[in-house]
C-alpha cells in the first residue's frame, strides 16, 4: 500500500513539488544576488560617491561622477553575470533531474535485479 501511495505521489503531486523547489531556488538566487536592486541601480554611482560641482571644478566633478558611475556599473554588471551563471547552472541541473525523475522508481526495482543477473553471470 505504501508503495502505491509513493508512486501515486511521485508521478502526480511530486511534479508540482519538484517545480516548486525549482521556483524556490530561483527566488533564493534572486534575493541573494539582489538582482532587482542591482538592475534598478545599474548606472548609479558606486557607493553613492559623488562630487558636488561648483563653477570652478565643474569638469573635475563631472569626471569624478562619471568614473564613480562606471565603477558602479562594472561591479554591478559582474555580480549580475554571477547571478546569471548561478541560474544557468541551477536550470541545467534541474533539467537533468527532470529527465531522470520518471526513471528513478523503476530503477530502484530494476537495478538490483540487473545486478543479480549480471553480477551472478560475471562471477563464474
> Which residues contact residue 45 at a Cβ distance below 8 angstroms, ignoring those fewer than 6 apart?
65, 68, 69, 72
Place of cell 545599474: 42
Q: pLDDT by residue (tens digit) across 31-70?
A: 999 999 999 988 887 776 566 767 778 888 788 888 888 9
The whole-model pTM stands at 0.75
Out of 12-16, 22-26, 52-56, pick the least confident: 52-56
Amino acid at each position: 500500500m505504501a508503495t502505491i501511495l509513493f508512486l501515486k505521489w511521485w508521478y502526480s503531486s511530486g511534479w508540482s513539488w519538484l517545480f516548486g523547489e525549482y521556483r524556490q531556488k530561483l527566488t533564493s538566487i534572486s534575493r541573494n544576488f539582489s538582482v532587482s536592486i542591482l538592475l534598478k541601480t545599474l548606472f548609479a554611482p558606486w557607493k553613492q560617491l559623488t562630487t558636488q560641482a561648483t563653477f570652478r571644478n565643474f569638469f573635475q566633478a563631472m569626471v569624478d561622477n562619471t568614473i564613480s558611475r562606471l565603477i558602479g556599473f562594472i561591479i554591478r554588471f559582474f555580480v549580475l553575470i554571477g547571478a546569471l551563471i548561478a541560474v544557468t547552472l541551477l536550470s541545467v541541473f534541474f533539467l537533468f533531474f527532470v529527465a531522470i525523475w520518471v526513471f528513478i522508481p523503476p530503477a530502484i526495482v530494476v537495478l538490483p535485479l540487473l545486478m543479480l543477473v549480471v553480477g551472478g553471470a560475471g562471477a563464474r
